[in-house]
Structure 1
């Protein structure tokens, strides 16, 4: 079946739990919070295989200059189908008039993001206060 893309923000806790735990992200253990979080993001694009949530990308923005991509995840069963790249392209199109799109990339994902047009900062490092373990 062909992958389709949506801008919906209403997901079931089961859909989100399944996707987030498929990539072993600890936030998947808080599916009810994820449901609310998705509604609060400025922009959400999701990838669907029929009625199965295969991937998503979410961003927050200030409305004019800066957008921050917080989540990009694709169920490993769908890796290699360019879903992640398509989701990034949709986000880049959405924020084309902004002056900055930021993402915090895990070190093992740097080349993916670089291939999507992002550059690693030499003079900045991400910092967190978090209770999540991944």
Structure 2
């Protein structure tokens, strides 16, 4: 592994996105064309690169003043435990330093990863979803 380079870009190839998202077994990796459009629409996208290989990213949207929502935070499994997730979160924290909070919703099996990146689980909150919009 060479030195990781961090970029604030919004343009990615469908192949890079598909490869990264499927590496962590996220179903959104099966829709790389939609991911490509989503990356253009996020307010904040920071990606981690090992040479020309996309190895991690964080994507956030915000309300402009109080709350930022991290929608994606992922790092390829073979690059985890190397500080990349923490580095991505630190960059987002700097961008949103004047906001009241940064929120991420993680599935139970992901909580440890997010905690390692600096997030704390709320004892008084539960994530709620509507995911089957077309049934």
Calculate the TM-score normalised by the size of structure 1.
0.91
**CA distance in structure 1 between the partners assigned to 2:91 and 2:13 by the alignment:** 23
Q: Tell me the alpha carbon deviations over residues 72-111 of structure 1, each in whole angstroms, 9 at most, x when there is no partner.
A: 0011121221111111111111111001110112223334
The number of equivalent residue pairs is 131
- Give the corresponding residue for 1:38: 39
Q: Tell me the alpha carbon deviations over residues 30-53 of structure 1, each in whole angstroms, 9 at most, x when there is no partner.
A: 000000000000101000011110
**CA distance in structure 1 between the partners assigned to 2:13 and 2:81 by the alignment:** 26
- Give the corresponding residue for 2:80: 79
- Contact kept? 2:89, 2:118, Cα under 8 Å: no
How far is the alpha carbon of 1:130 from its aligned partner?
1.3
**CA distance in structure 1 between the partners assigned to 2:124 and 2:30 by the alignment:** 34
- Contact kept? 2:86, 2:116, Cα under 8 Å: no
1:6-25 equivalence runs, <5 A: 6-25=7-26
- Give the corresponding residue for 2:105: 104
Is there any run of 5+ residues in structure 2 with no aligned partner, and where? Answer: none
Residue aligned with 1:89, SS:
helix
Calculate the TM-score normalised by the size of structure 2.
0.90
Name the Cα RMSD after superposition.
1.4
Residue aligned with 2:123, SS:
coil
**CA distance in structure 2 between the partners assigned to 1:77 and 1:121 by the alignment:** 29
How far is the alpha carbon of 1:129 from its aligned partner?
1.2
**Larger relative CO (CA 8 A, sep 6+): 1 or 2?**
1
Q: Which moved more, 1:13-22 or 1:115-124?
A: 115-124
